[in-house]
Homo-oligomer: A and B are copies of this chain.
């Protein structure tokens, strides 16, 4: 009996994740053309700022070079402001600009609605999915 890719969990997870990401990107694409890293940085800043690049890499599971470049792009678009940390001059303090906050005020509800819709689609399996994801993420070795 031969191995069946269609039943293989890593494959299924990857396809599902890509699929869900595409759907979500289509939703916020109307409001702003963001990459996934850019979205994650904004979302994290929205709930806690100011914060360093390093903090973000740890909290949103992105490599530091990716966060660095995403932050630069966001700064260039006027969504994020970079300033020096007071006591530790190695650190950079990232914060949302007024424009960035406005954008997140529109994107937040979109994300919430999408989450609600997904949960509805999944019905009774939504909880099991969340628990399973928690377990998988828990043993995280973050990307460098």
Interface on A for B, CB 8 Å cutoff?
A: 2-5, 7-22, 24, 36, 40, 43-44, 46-47, 60-61, 104, 108, 111-112, 114-115, 118-119, 121-122, 124-137, 139-141, 143
Contacts and interface: CB of A to CB of B under 8 A. Distances in A.
Contacts of A114: 10
A16 B14 CA distance: 9
A70 to B, nearest CB: 14
Nearest to A107: B3
A24 B136 CA distance: 13
Nearest to A5: B43
B128 A125 contact: yes
A5 B132 contact: no
